[in-house]
Amino acid sequence: MQHTQVSTQPITDIQFNGLHWIEASAGTGKTYTLSSLMVRILLEKHLPNQVIATTFTRKAAAELKSRIRLRLQETYKMFDTCRELDEQQVLALAQSESDPLYAFVLKQFSTRIAYACERLKLVIDQLDELFVGTLDSFSQKLLREFSFESGKIEVANISDDSRKYIVELIHDVLREWIQQQDQALVDVLVSSKRLQGASTFVDLVEQRLNFTSAELVAPPTSSIDHQHFQTAIASLSALSQAQWQSLAEYYIEGGSYATQFNGIKFKNGRFQRIFMQSLPQLVNHLQQLGANSYFSADLAEAKDDLSVLIKNVDAQQVFKKATPVEVQNAFYQHPCIVTLQQVFNALQQYESGLDEVSMQLKFHIAAQVKIRLPQRLQQQGETTFSEQIRSLAEALNAENGQDFARFIHARFPLILVDEFQDTNQDQDDMLARIWRHPSRVQQGCMIMVGDRKQAIYGFRGGDMLTFLKAHQDVFSQQGRLYNLIHNHRSVAPLVEVVDALFQRQMDFGEEVYYTPVQAGSRPHPALIDHGQENPTPLRWIMLEDKEREAEQVAWKIRDLLNQGIQGQLYFAEKTANRALQSDDIAVLSKNHHGLDQVQSALEFLGIAYHRPAKKSVFIGSLAQDVAALLAAIRQPHDEAKVRRALLSRLLGFDVAKLRALEQQTDGLSRYIADFEQFREMWLVQGFLATWQALFSHFHVWENVVAQPSRDNERVIVNLRHLSELLSRHSRQHAGVHHLSQWYMQQLNEAGQREWELERRLSNAAGVQLLTIHQSKGLEFKVVFLLGADKKFQDAQSAFNFSSQQQQDPKTGQVQEQRILAVNQKQYISEQALAQHQSRALAEHHRLWYVALTRASYRVYAMLQDQKAQSTTGLAFWRGQLPEQFQHAYSQQEMCLTSRPPALKIEQSQILPLYAKQQPTQRFYPRGKTSFSALAQHLSRQQIQDAMVAAELQRLPADDEVHVNVQLLHPEPVGHAEALSWIQAQFPMGALAGNCIHELFEQIDFHDKSQWPLIIHRRFKNDYQSLWQALVEKYNQTFTDPESAEDELIKWIMQWLEQVLATPLDAGFQLNQLQPNTYLSEFPFYMALADQRFAVQRIHQLFTEYGIHMPRFNEANAVRYLNGSIDLVFFDGQRYHIADYKSNFLGTSYADYTEEAIQHSMTYASYWLQAALYLVALHRYLKVNLEDYQIERDLGGASYLYVRGMNTQPEQGYMYWQPESEFILRLDAILGDQRAQCAGS
């Protein structure tokens, strides 16, 4: 399709309505463009929760969202610097700006800079609401948020192993099919290897599930006569040795006609072998083992020989042309030859019938599993991403589907789809029904971004036909086209030479055409090679022996590294020259076999390399050793299991050491007792505590690295990975038996689930070894391409892919439809076979485009076609002599004739490292606690007793309790002075307490000018319900409602002033504090002992010092204590803490005496809170205060019951300074004083 106008700058040209198609060639700054577009979208039109951005992988989605956030922050900073500029200055800045996004938005918002700043600030604050993910996760989001509209209200978890359900269904379908067949046919299918286990059909089914929208053509029906097969075998078995020996004159050496056979058709003595070996072997085998043994692999060569004979008999080409006719006729008409001819033609027909049955079986399995899989998943309460996409498509196709689509479109009017070339038909159908429906195209916006030249995931369901149909749909609805034509990835010479190469053949196949590109503006440090800057970046190496390709690559890599060491090959970076390193080099191959060979060659040369792992952590000896350890814990009295655990790498025993142990009196029994102890510990403390204790007891980490080995780090990482998985699943599989059972199941079903794949090592540096598919989206400085001109061979596919014109039953339009057929070539039309071959070859061209565009500085293409016959791989563009590609930036490089020596980098002086001593105790990461949580450890009966004694009312606040003091002080109190109206009427509860805390946190103790504004904002923004309650009480008491706000704010200010002016210990007042002498809301995390938390010992300590509180329950699991101290201040001599309490104790100031507050602190356990906070302050000062002395520097705790404070001494507060010994003893009980309190 021709487009009248193509933009090359979508960042500035795009308008966010309608359909937009961005073609982004490799290295053209796609992520930069998308993040810039997203800034415009969020600045100009939509909020984050109205926008969707999808891409192909979760990793790419995370990178895109990170780049969007960074771009937004940069744009905000740019606008923020323009706040003081006038319109003309902003426009002038826009004119000089090189960043196209900045230039555009500055011009657009030149008169609204403040608005742009506030809008961007809002967008950044709400950016977590922006959905950036895969299309699969987006479909999950839609079904979850629109479950009612979609009709999919059942809850289903994403299966992490749908493959097991596929295997189960194949078993079911296969079993049903076999039961319906004649047993003789089943036996023959098994004997001929046409019917094998269920696992042989898994790839077939998975490929069908990747192309569910394609039509699967049913194979022709077959009628197979098993009796005819038995008759033919019987005829063959009946042949006697005398019958074929009567032809001896034709095949024995010296026979009358032994030299007359066609030597071209029967090479290397084949004619003689047929009669002297193959035919006797075949007949004897059938006579001894029966008809079904005809399909035995032992007879393969014999059957092949006889097949050649019969083929030439049928064509009458057994003899030379000069052989007399009567001699030939005598052979062709001999009874033995006639029988063989009849038998083998019958057997060939029978085998064709078996092939047809095999095709029908594959078709049946593929069709049935596709139907049954959703049902099986639903029964298990599970689903897959693919099934969710199909469920979404079904909902959109249903009777009310367009209503559902409108709901989604209204919620998300704009969608940006990255890597659009990799979408499958189901995904595109979903997108088209929502955002490309003709009635909604102009009401929203859909931006499709991709590069058809990089569509290389056909094996995952990607189909160029889907892409082309979407392309046609977009431009039939006035879609706009954009091309990114500047390659920013590679240096200019490499861009130029690769562009020239691709322009030699711009038609890649499947309507994919190359678009010329230019070098971008991104700066690259020059690669200096022997004084030249980026010389000849495209280099061809013709191998003399293709079997030595890996060796030549490894030698060349060492040669490059040597040049780097010698200072001849380096990057001229701004700070300093940097030699080429192994990390800068990548080796790409179409398959894993080539990488295996290069890996071996690099290992031989001692060159570091990294190869991405696709191996399950459950595979290997380490996983078996962990299973042995679990088995020993589960059954500690089973000596065999204990011995196996001891012989594992984890415990470090070998056979000799185990035998020596068993010679000791208590040798094995000691370990049995240990495992019994750990089993009991598991029952009490759970898996993780037991696992860590076991590792510490047996020195597991030391054992696994006791011997120098290349795999030590891999073992450590995998062991931590396995421990993490066990810990995570111990919550669902409680107990040693259930967890061990789950673990053994994983060993037996190890697969490719993402969470079980081996993790990357920390030292995963060196030459990168990847397949071309793995390298997509990555960038390397120097790239070696293996087999760059190797002949293309289509991998054996389960299906043949073709297409045909079909009419859409809904729209009536004629469209290309993908057609699948079980891949048996003899039953597929020549046209369909040609289409399949053309599709595979086109994807092969795209694969090599991806390979050649990974490098930023240099490419080495390894060639092996000495005969200059290849037309695939890079030879598709390079061509052959005399029209071979020539360019100033391209050169032919000779193979190395010898292995380069290993040069070493001159080592600078190595400074010694001193490690801290390994701690003997470790933290339990089981949990954390706080004072409020500890207070909940009061037993239920004790809380009830306290409530009966004092009508204790527990409100939502964790640490504020309001007590009826009439029951605490039953004697009359006389005419005591009543609280002020605001102190008595201020609401109670957690919300009120939080409000008081925030006011004290935000006001300046000296400057009262801002107090009214702070009080007003607090109530208006966060505590409107409190304010309304206060206003209502005011109106009930006073008759002037219009003055309520002013009066209430004035009274609250007076109340705060009274609190700050009340004399505390030694007459000190809080209003004397300078801003640099106190901290409000001082948070801390305090480490506790790596052992059982001794709550009762704390209780005993308080009792010793005459402080009585209700007993606590046990709290064994906590390992950290966290909290926030309301106020930490320095009075000029010591550091103190203060805690504001809004607890309501009564209506008069007499209810807030020191004695009353002591009662309140006892019932609410505030003594414990004060002691813990003082210990936290003690630990903090010990770390941060030079020459700290507890007696001199640590003060006490003031508990300020603010309702009862009225500037009078000893009124409304309680000051407590425990003895230093008390603080030190409590600190010791809490434990682990090496890990000090972390405050701020």
1237, pLDDT greater than 50? no
1033 is in an annotated binding site: no
Higher pLDDT, 906 or 282: 282
What percent of the chain lies above the pLDDT cut of 70? 91
Q: Reduce the DSSP state of residue 1135 to 3 states and report it.
A: strand
Angle between helices 162-179 and 202-210 (to 10 degrees): 120
DSSP codes joined into one string, 78-91: HHHTTTT--HHHHH
- The CA distance from 271 to 261, in Å, is 8
Alpha helices in 126-240 (DSSP H): 135-145, 147-150, 162-179, 183-191, 202-210, 226-237
From CA 162, how far away is CA 385, in angstroms rounded? 10
1040 annotated binding-site participant: no
Predicted pLDDT of residue 89: 94
25 labelled binding-site residue: yes
| pLDDT the model gives residue 126 | 95
Asked if pLDDT for residue 947 goes beyond 70, the answer is no
The full set of domains in the chain, from first to last, is 6-156+384-488 (3.40.50.300), 162-223+355-382 (no CATH), 226-352 (no CATH), 531-612+765-817+825-893 (3.40.50.300), 621-756 (1.10.486.10), 928-1239 (3.90.320.10)
User: What number is the average pLDDT over the span 585-597?
Assistant: 95
pLDDT category of residue 173 using cuts at 50, 70 and 90: very high
Mean pLDDT estimate for the chain = 87
Q: Tell whether 31 is in a known binding site.
A: yes
> CB-hemisphere CA count at 13 Å for 1130?
12
pLDDT in tens, 747-797: 988 877 778 888 887 766 899 999 999 999 999 999 999 999 999 987 778
- Is 186 within 8 Å of 195 (Cβ atoms)? yes
234 is in an annotated binding site: no
What's the CA gap between 361 and 749, in Å, rounded? 26
Q: Check whether 807 has a pLDDT greater than 90.
A: no
Average the pLDDT over 1156-1170 and give the result. Answer: 87
Q: Residue 52 in contact with residue 512, Cβ under 8 Å? A: no
Give the tens place of pLDDT for each residue, 86-120.
Answer: 999 999 999 999 999 999 999 999 999 999 999 99
pLDDT for position 735:
85
Over 90: is that where the pLDDT of 1139 sits? yes
pLDDT band at 667 (very low <50, low <70, confident <90, very high): confident
Q: Quick check: 972 pLDDT over 80?
A: no
| Helix (H), strand (E), coil (C) string for 491-555 | CHHHHHHHHHHHCCCCEEECCEECCCCEECCCCCCEEEECCEECCCCEEEEECCCHHHHHHHHHH
CB-count burial class (<10 Å; 0-12, 13-18, 19+) for 663: exposed
pLDDT at residue 945, as a whole number: 36
Please write down the HEC assignment for all residues of 799-851.
Answer: EEEEEEEEECCCCCCEEEEEEEEECCHHHCCHHHHHHHHHHHHHHHHHHHHHH
User: CB–CB of 1181/1134 below 8 Å?
Assistant: no
What is the per-residue pLDDT across 382-414, written as a single tens digit (0 to 9) for each?
A: 888 888 888 888 888 888 888 999 999 999 999
| 814 pLDDT tier (thresholds 50, 70, 90) | confident
User: What would the pLDDT profile of 8-33 be if each residue is shown by its tens digit?
Assistant: 999 999 999 999 999 999 999 999 99
The answer to whether residues 1113 and 1093 touch, using CB atoms and an 8 Å cutoff, is: no
> How confident is residue 1115, by pLDDT bands cut at 50, 70 and 90?
low
Longest dimension (CA), the chain: 147
Tell me which H or E stretch contains 647. Answer: none
pLDDT value at 80 more than 90: yes
pLDDT higher than 60, residue 971: no
Q: Place 1041 in a pLDDT band, splitting at 50, 70 and 90.
A: confident
Least confident of 209-223, 225-239, 942-956, 1168-1182: 942-956
Residue 234 has pLDDT above 50, yes or no: yes
| Residue 163 scores a pLDDT above 90 | no
737: enclosing H helix or E strand: helix 736-748
Tell me if 776 is assigned to a ligand binding site: no
Residue 613 has pLDDT above 80, yes or no: no
pLDDT at 964: 42
The 10 Å CB-count burial string (b at 16+, else e) for 553-562 is bbbbbbebbb
| DSSP 8-state code for residue 275 | I
Mean pLDDT of 700-719: 88
567 is in an annotated binding site: no
pLDDT at residue 770 in the model: 95
> What six digits make up the tokens of 4?
């009248």
Q: How confident is the model at residue 1111 (pLDDT cuts 50, 70, 90)?
A: low
Closest-CA residue to 474 (of 394, 409, 420): 420
939-953 mean pLDDT? 35
pTM of the model: 0.71
Q: Which of 103-107, 150-154, 670-674, 1166-1170 has the highest mean pLDDT?
A: 103-107
Q: Which of 451, 1139, 1227, 1232 is catalytic?
A: 1139
724 pLDDT more than 80: yes
Q: Please, what's the b/e burial string for 1162-1178 (b: 16 or more CB within 10 A of its CB; e: otherwise)?
A: ebbbbbbbbbbbbbbbb
The two structure tokens encoding residue 725 = 């998985």
Name the range with the highest mean pLDDT among 162-166, 371-375, 704-708.
371-375
Q: Out of 51-65, 602-616, 855-869, 944-958, which region has the weakest mean confidence (pLDDT)?
A: 944-958
Confidence class for position 1054, pLDDT limits 50, 70, 90:
very high
Answer yes or no: is pLDDT of 954 > 50.
no
Summarize pLDDT for 872-881 with one digit per residue, the tens: 999 999 999 8
Question: What local confidence, expressed as pLDDT, does residue 1018 receive?
Answer: 87
Region 981-1000: what's the mean pLDDT? 88
Bigger pLDDT: 960 vs 158: 158
1116 pLDDT tier (thresholds 50, 70, 90): low
Q: Read off the pLDDT of residues 475-517 as tens digits, 9 standing for 90 and up.
A: 999 999 999 999 999 999 999 999 999 999 999 999 999 999 9
Residue with tokens 């009930």: 1036
Q: How far is CA 242 from CA 272, 280, 338, 608, in A?
A: 16, 11, 15, 68
Per-residue model confidence (pLDDT) at position 937: 43
The annotation status of 26 as a binding-site residue, yes or no, is yes
**What is the structure's pLDDT at 861?**
97
**Residue 656 known to bind ligand:** no
Q: Is 937 annotated as a binding residue?
A: no
Sequence-distant (6+) residues with CB within 8 A of 496 are 519, 889
Three-state SS for 579-609 is ECCHHHEEEEECCHHHHHHHHHHHHHHCCCE
Determine if residue 620 is labeled as part of a ligand binding site: no
Which of 428, 416, 417 lies closest to 389 in space, CA to CA? Answer: 428
Inter-residue contact 1058 to 1206 (CB < 8 Å): yes
Residue 1139 annotated as catalytic: yes
At residue 931, the pLDDT reads: 55
1088 falls in which pLDDT band (50, 70, 90)? confident
Does residue 44 surpass a pLDDT of 90? yes
